[in-house]
Structure 1
């Protein structure tokens, strides 16, 4: 297999049909390509739900947002008449959507992992690293470097760009509080039921932490669908220990994490946001080895806790408290 000369690449189409966290992990790829050749034009195909995640990303020249169904793919039909220098399939699992796109779209080079569904459409089919032993971001770096791209190791990390105006408002509000307190963000939302942590355990954890550490303030983060659970938690906590700030968009959510001192979360998207801004994190995981390794915090101080079962609810509050104490000692709080 001949390596690609990335300095000669002028047009790239990237396929990443993934969730919010997948996009945050993938974003270093966009920067790497631009650093290899400042004149390169980068286009991306991804899901509509990732629109707010990518709103401020400076490295993308065009983004095509689709839904995950065959009818949505029809909107991409005009791309069949384009000829790219390179198509990169970043999907980390065998994908019917990727297979369809790779078969229909034209490029001199097509790079992706050597999955049976996709490999026959690739010019550069890269062997897939063991997902039980490698972080997802390391697999992406391996994919690109194996095809010929030289990557600066310093930029291999989750990356996210937040709206400057939103971030300015939240930063100013938090700065007053942080002059006397540490802000601990508690994200109660998760992408699957097995990742949900019970309301009563959140309340117990927060009350226990505030009784031990008088300098803490807590910020409850949640998606709109979890508002009822969030309100139950907020009602059970002394208001003097809570931080409230307006804004429910993803950009607000990300900026709140960025400006916090520490995050506790069962959701890996929030883990990747914390990693992007080097916010210390305590991450809660189900007992699934590949998930624990692939979506671990990256390049930030952290403690990860794996449940004894596939459900996060079986993690004890005492276990989280112990990891919290251990982490803040490392942080010299």
Structure 2
């Protein structure tokens, strides 16, 4: 999207949010919400990384309110599929699916608590806030949510997203314990090839590199990955990637003698199972950073020069190093800088 178009859409979203706030003009709730907490409906953000960072909230809600139902509204098919396999979630609804089915399952019902996980105005999320009926509607505190929600969860803009999501607990009078906010990956199918590889893989014997990323500006180059791996001939590596980068994975495996060939992973759960056995993972700023948090595996994250990404989407509850580009593009990170961070993480 061109910068000009992006700014125009942002101004529209902000104006739309201000209009809703003026029309609804809800007074901001004080103190913890003391009403019923038997049913929650949560508006989930659109990417895999967002979904992973929502899981700490689901875990805490089920722990503190074990009899409550948790339902998710998903705005992408990827997130819809992710939460369908989560046993903590009672139902997942695709907002962009069949309208009549969505109305029956969501809009014709009433929930105790609605929570919007976005901390900035979003047209789709604001529309669902208006359409979904709930006794208490909670948003994350920002100037564009004023007047729209019954309660606003207070959290610093640069807080890690996992903790930002868990700020709902404060509204409910349930103290937030950061150590209880490690994310997780729901169980998913595991192929026979991955099972065999895991059975043969000695825990802590390999390092991992993830070569895939969620957007072009977050990719590191194949040449840089090769330089990095070649700098450590005494170590053994395994390459992880999404299906679209399978050919690049194969080229790296063939080019570097210290890369152990591995089967392609069919889902993010398989990637997590491999990550759990690694000594550490090197990855661009993408969902695999948060998979490492789930697996409690040390991580080296490659980031573009964007302060909000460095603070909000940094590795969480794991030992880590961050290597930051001098520009918005991860590909501008020098392989030597990553090698330096790798030596530092290894401790020798």
Rounded to whole Å, the distance in 1 between the matches of 2:207 and 2:141 is: 42
- The 3-state SS of whatever aligns with 1:23 is helix
After TM superposition, the structure 1 stretch with the greater mean CA deviation from structure 2, 252-261 or 273-282, is 252-261
| 1:215-255 Cα distance to aligned partner (Å, 9 max, x none) | x32211111222232232222122x6313135422332232
**1:256 to 2:274 alignment:** yes
**1:99 to 2:99 alignment:** no
| 1:177-225 Cα distance to aligned partner (Å, 9 max, x none) | 426x721111111011111101111111111112xx2xx3221111122
**1:320 to 2:338 alignment:** yes
Residue number in structure 1 paired with 2:103: 77
Residue number in structure 1 paired with 2:223: 200
- The 3-state SS of whatever aligns with 1:290 is helix
Equivalent of 2:175 in 129, 147, 150 = 150
Q: In the TM superposition, what is the alpha-carbon distance from 1:161 to its structure 2 partner?
A: 2.8
**1:186 to 2:209 alignment:** yes
Instruction: Please report the TM-score for the alignment, with normalisation by the length of structure 2.
Output: 0.83
Equivalent of 1:135 in 160, 169, 177 = 160
Is the CA contact 1:87–1:111 (under 8 Å) kept in the aligned structure 2?
A: yes
How has the CA–CA distance of structure 1 residues 161 and 305 changed in structure 2, closer, same or farther, with 3 Å as cutoff? same
Is the CA contact 1:217–1:243 (under 8 Å) kept in the aligned structure 2?
A: no
Residue number in structure 2 paired with 1:173: 197
Is the CA contact 1:99–1:117 (under 8 Å) kept in the aligned structure 2?
A: no
Residue number in structure 1 paired with 2:55: 27
After TM superposition, the structure 1 stretch with the greater mean CA deviation from structure 2, 221-230 or 76-85, is 221-230
Instruction: Please report the TM-score for the alignment, with normalisation by the length of structure 1.
Output: 0.86
Is the CA contact 1:281–1:297 (under 8 Å) kept in the aligned structure 2?
A: yes
Residue number in structure 2 paired with 1:16: 44
Rounded to whole Å, the distance in 2 between the matches of 1:184 and 1:167 is: 22
**1:230 to 2:249 alignment:** yes
How has the CA–CA distance of structure 1 residues 290 and 184 changed in structure 2, closer, same or farther, with 3 Å as cutoff? same
| 1:127-156 Cα distance to aligned partner (Å, 9 max, x none) | 45232xx21122223343144233444312
Residue number in structure 2 paired with 1:209: 232
- The 3-state SS of whatever aligns with 1:242 is coil
Is the CA contact 2:167–2:176 (under 8 Å) kept in the aligned structure 1?
A: no
Rounded to whole Å, the distance in 2 between the matches of 1:74 and 1:260 is: 46
Rounded to whole Å, the distance in 1 between the matches of 2:226 and 2:55 is: 35
**1:54 to 2:79 alignment:** no
| Structure 1 unaligned blocks of 5 or more | none
Is the CA contact 2:242–2:265 (under 8 Å) kept in the aligned structure 1?
A: no
Equivalent of 1:64 in 93, 96, 101 = 93
Q: In the TM superposition, what is the alpha-carbon distance from 1:318 to its structure 2 partner?
A: 0.9
Equivalent of 2:137 in 96, 110, 119 = 110
After TM superposition, the structure 1 stretch with the greater mean CA deviation from structure 2, 166-175 or 191-200, is 166-175
| Structure 2 unaligned blocks of 5 or more | 1-29
Residue number in structure 2 paired with 1:266: 284
How has the CA–CA distance of structure 1 residues 326 and 177 changed in structure 2, closer, same or farther, with 3 Å as cutoff? same
